[in-house]
A and B are shown apart, each in its own frame.
Chain A
């Protein structure tokens, strides 16, 4: 699972540049600080995926870069501040239909989609997920209630969230197509909480998610929450989606990209 390790290196100048303000390391509980150990795969792959990594606002720290491949997803930690929404956030609120002319598979339009992420939320959300004239969000984790991503099948929805720099959504539950699109694109981790946490977190709270322990820590409130295990979907997202996963695991042959 070298791809997994490749996504993040906190020491990388590119990754560092994406972190706007969060002094994340000092906020981590001491026992959870584990720096990745460098090895040749990590460095090699970083150069390939640097642009991908630079899109992410969060820092994802592989606990140990040289883990057995099957356990790769369980070594991932997300850290950053969160944006909190309620129930039934539908795809029109995540990315309104007027922006669907943007084609996600086109890199420049992908970036643009990110800048419009969650722009459809009503004005009752006084803090915007992406500030006007910004391309990226400063919130790497979205906390939501029930049925997140309901509505249309537009893949633009998880793509917009991923392109904005968010790395994970933690919701009570998901609409089916959104969940599937999140996994198949590898754009964002759709994690489920065991209890309703959107009422207990506030936008701007600093969180850590430890996939291995299926745990979410809110450093601002000091509370810890149990998440439902991501299971087999984890490695697929980590690989970068179903095609990348299928290639890596030998299910489909590798292909030299023509573009």
Chain B
């Protein structure tokens, strides 16, 4: 393990696949690395021809080695020109996100390991978003937000989305809500970058063509101090989705379809790349839904090639230059899955596992007690527009309590301001009220993960719930014997209207 010095003496610094990991840890970075870092120039990097002594000339057509998107992002972030799955590399982190559940612990580790007076590596690259346990009287939960506030003040953190007055979120203009949706809305997701967050659904940001993954408190404490993380380059599974998306399907159906196909551990340690004409036709929010649940297949990250949809979304949201990367044509993929989306049907994940897939229509006899629409997965503006679309088409009232939890303050405002297409100027909130839903709640993670006892819409009884969230393991929404059917907003709306798990085609055709 004392190999860090070898990087200095080696003839080619790029050859030090193992050594450079350690070199990054110490201050003795090879000189050329630094030069490359300073100039941030592709040209300089290309001069650093990779060592190819281990390879036969016939195996390498050119200096350039075909790589996947994820591999390219790793290469850029670790200042290498090539790398392969399985390699452990030190990457420079572009954004570290943390929230009220894991932030205090990460801060505790940072202070313990780097000292009480230590400063974070870059106050503009740490994004702190309280979102989990906000509207609760739980004292420890309230204290945890205080810890975030004190730390942000002490460190002069540029992006801290604070909430002080819990009685009315609207008087807290800085407060956003669910971190993964807020990250996108506030322009912190950019193609080609590395985003780490202390939340497993950090992978949502892969929708922007970046590497985004969840880490624990200890890793986050390390990143806070150094801006670096030691990561293994994942091999990529490729999911090619072609065909016209039927108007009764949403991205949630696609990802549930995939997880049902490969299981909750089918992508463990792997990257999941989504592409094809269907993916190209998806909006950013729908792409976020797709990437959001890769962790439910065990995936390390999900990624979608950035395109004009991505660039348009980013307009006005970020002033930072970004560099999109794309998988090479002959890049190596561990395996490729192909879907003809036009033939798919609405699906659900039955209790108690996200891979327990069934067609929604196969579950039509399952009586339900409630419907929950919210979270990073299914609480975005378009998720509620989808809900409203079904209510509008049906023109009747819900038969079970239906809980509406906008992910962020922006989403909440959209519910009260954006006219639903074809509704004669009515907004989502009006349609929800007419359908008999509960009034949209304060934005946040709420009951997606149960939380403190007084959490809005927490499942405190062993009920059956259709939910647009992401997990349905025992106890996820509060009660251990509760049964959660994961579904798209369309299916959730249709189920709310009938009181049974219901295929949305009953109302949309």
Residues in A neighbouring B295, C-beta threshold 8 A: 177
A176 at the interface (CB under 8 A from B): yes
How many residues of chain A get a CB closer than 8 Å to chain B's CBs? 48
Residues in A neighbouring B107, C-beta threshold 8 A: 105
CA distance A200 to B93 in the complex (A): 44
Inter-subunit contact A103/B216 (CB<8 Å): no
Contact digits for B199-220, partner A, Cβ 8 Å, 1 yes 0 no: 1101000000000001111110
Inter-subunit contact A180/B215 (CB<8 Å): yes
A97-B449, A173-B268, A259-B112 are contacts. A185–B216 as well, Cβ < 8 Å? yes
Please name the residue on chain B nearest to A242 by beta carbon.
Answer: B218
CA distance A180 to B300 in the complex (A): 12
B138 at the interface (CB under 8 A from A): yes
B114 at the interface (CB under 8 A from A): yes
Residues in B neighbouring A40, C-beta threshold 8 A: none
Inter-subunit contact A252/B25 (CB<8 Å): yes
Please name the residue on chain B nearest to A255 by beta carbon.
Answer: B115
Please name the residue on chain B nearest to A257 by beta carbon.
Answer: B112
Give which listed residue, B101, B108, B111, contacts A100 with CB less than 8 A.
B101
B175-183, B272-280, B472-480 - the one binding chain A: B472-480
Inter-subunit contact A255/B268 (CB<8 Å): no
Inter-subunit contact B450/A96 (CB<8 Å): yes
Give which listed residue, B102, B132, B480, contacts A155 with CB less than 8 A.
B102
Contact digits for A102-124, partner B, Cβ 8 Å, 1 yes 0 no: 11111000000000000011110
Inter-subunit contact B200/A155 (CB<8 Å): no
Chain A, 171-194, CB within 8 A of any chain B CB: 173-177, 180-181, 184-185
A151 at the interface (CB under 8 A from B): yes
B257 at the interface (CB under 8 A from A): no
CA distance A255 to B225 in the complex (A): 13
Inter-subunit contact A97/B450 (CB<8 Å): yes
B440 at the interface (CB under 8 A from A): no
Inter-subunit contact B113/A105 (CB<8 Å): no
Give which listed residue, B138, B141, B215, B473, contacts A177 with CB less than 8 A.
B215
A246 at the interface (CB under 8 A from B): yes
Inter-subunit contact A104/B217 (CB<8 Å): yes
Contact digits for A225-254, partner B, Cβ 8 Å, 1 yes 0 no: 000000000000000011100100111100
Nearest 5 Cβ contacts at the A-B interface:
A105-B108, A153-B214, A155-B216, A181-B216, A101-B140
Residues of chain B at the chain A interface (Cβ within 8 Å): 1-2, 4, 22, 25-26, 101-102, 104-105, 107-109, 111-116, 132-133, 138, 140-141, 143-144, 147, 198-200, 202, 214-219, 221-222, 264-265, 268-269, 295, 298, 300, 353, 449-453, 471, 473-476, 478, 480-481
